[in-house]
Amino acid sequence: MADDVQRVYVASVVEEGGNSLALGCFSSEETAWQVLRTFLKKSDQMLLISSTVVVWDIDVIGEDGVNVLSTMECKDCPVCGRRTFWMDLENFSALCHGNACAAWVEESTLEPGIIDCGWPPVRFLKQAKDIDEAFSELFKLGDKMKAISQVDTLGENEPQEMLEEFEKQVALDSN
């Protein structure tokens, strides 16, 4: 048969307690990735720690029959704060799969040694000299977004009161 499947692609996730959830066995890599990405959008609703996509060759015995295409770890997103930030440490890249976020970090394909990061909703794009600096930039952006959202919920006089309280504390600390 010309349609015989020679390889299968398996997407899975691991929960915090070590329980593994298989998301399916597929005849194409593209389908496995689509299913995994769709599932990762809901990762803030579960306690997930990692995910994998592996390819199995049919009728091959032993470990020669399996190849891990990607292993990703789940972290809290530096921008939105939800547990939807998935990092592929082998091919260094990271992407928040949370709705309306999509913060990302990856090695530059044009400039070796440079790390690119961004946040599409505000067209934020930054280049950094290392991973720590890239994450620092995303955390700063996340802090600004959280501060803005908190200011919107404050009462009419609260910002001025907070400023006065801060100035009093600074004056006390300097004495």
Same domain as 139, residue 90? yes
What's the pLDDT at 38?
92
> Looking at 38-122, which runs of residues are DSSP E strands?
48-57, 66-75, 85-88, 93-96, 104-107, 115-119
Same domain, 109 and 67: no
- Looking at residue 64, its pLDDT comes to 84
Phi-psi region of 102 (alpha: psi -120 to 50; beta: other; left: phi over 0): left
Q: In sequence order, which ranges of the chain are alpha helices (DSSP H)?
A: 29-40, 131-152, 158-174
**Looking at the whole model, is its pTM more than 0.75?**
no
Question: One digit per residue, pLDDT tens: the chain, 175 residues?
Answer: 446 769 999 999 999 999 999 999 999 999 999 999 999 988 889 899 999 999 999 888 888 889 999 999 999 999 999 999 999 977 789 999 988 899 999 998 888 889 999 999 888 999 999 989 999 999 999 988 888 776 666 566 666 666 677 678 778 877 7
Instruction: Check whether residue 46 and residue 93 sit in a common domain.
Output: no
Q: How far apart are CA 9 and CA 131, in angstroms?
A: 31
Within this chain, do residues 63 and 99 fall inside the same structural domain, yes or no?
A: no
125 shares a domain with 106: yes
Count: domains in the chain? 2
Q: Which domain holds residue 120?
A: 86-166
Per the domain annotation, does 175 fall within a domain? no
